[in-house]
Amino acid sequence: MFQILLVEGLSSIGMFFFFLMSMGILIFLAVNYNQFIKDAENMSITKRRELKAIKTKFLNSYGRKDTEDERKFGIQEQINVEVFVDKSINRLKFCGLKVNTWRFLSGQSLLISIIFAGLGAFRGILAKMTIREISPFYLIAFLELYIFFSVVSICDYEGKDKLLRLNIIEYIENHMVNRIQVAKAFQAEEKVLQILEEEQRKKQTFSKEMEEELDSLLQEFFV
């Protein structure tokens, strides 16, 4: 029954090769997702370059000092952590390719595998083989589809996306945002103290000038 797999060797090799490639990509994504989630739970000490880049970008975007106009008109920058995290996760890359690209390649590899199965069955039909003889290609194609969707369901990439997103949001909101707000409050307090000191110096300077001018007038009067 499975003799056709040997007869149509090229189609069989292509079918199995691209199916294994598809499975390999799914497993690769699952392993990297799990590692990312584990590192995101300890973002304060993580050494992963992508997560450190997210922290740096957040500080550069929201941790800057307020401009003169913002201080003058009382404008306070709104920190939308969820939008920032969503954009950062969408830009995540594994080995230079985005996550969505890896998923697309996995699906396309499975599609090519099914095409090779169809090609093998078609060549069997041209060779006047019976349905029973070419049926292994159909059976394997359906089995590949079942395995593919089972692995996708087990890996639960959407759930991993949400968990990774929640871990990053939790760290930013509970650690980084509070630090930034405290730092900006401290900067504002320092600015107020500088203004008060400057006004005090101006008053002292003005008083000293008034005293000198009064002494000058008194001297002229007595003379």
188 versus 106: the higher-pLDDT residue is: 106
Rounded distance between C-alpha atoms, residue 132 and residue 5, angstroms: 13
Burial per residue of 57-71, b for 16 or more beta-carbon CB atoms within 10 angstroms, e otherwise = ebeeebbeebeeeee
pLDDT for 161: 86
Contact predicate 102/28, CB 8 Å? yes
| pLDDT number for residue 168 | 86
| DSSP reduced 3-state for 97 | strand
154, 159, 163, 169 alpha-carbon torsion, rounded to 10° = 160
Cα 112–118–123 angle (5° rounding)?
125
Tokens of 63: 């941790």
- Exposure on the CB side of residue 68, measured as CA atoms within 13 A: 0
Cα–Cα distance for residue pair 26/31, rounded to 1 Å: 9
The whole-number pLDDT of residue 178 equals 62
Q: Tell me how many degrees the CA angle 75-81-85 measures, rounded to the nearest 5.
A: 140
Average pLDDT (38-55) is 82
Residue 28 is predicted with a pLDDT of 93
Helix ranges (H only) for 49-129 are: 49-62, 68-73, 81-90, 99-126
Distance CA 39, CA 31 (A): 12
How does DSSP assign 127-155, residue by residue?
TT--HHHHHHHHHHHHHHHHHHHHHHHHH
Q: Could you report the per-residue pLDDT of 155-186, keeping only the tens digit for each?
A: 888 888 888 888 888 888 777 766 655 445 44
- pLDDT, residue 106, reads 93
Q: Give 67-123 pLDDT, tens digit per residue.
A: 444 444 343 445 677 888 888 888 888 888 888 899 999 999 999 999 998 888 888
Dist. CA 213–CA 183, nearest whole Å: 45
Q: Residue ranges per domain, the chain? A: 3-176
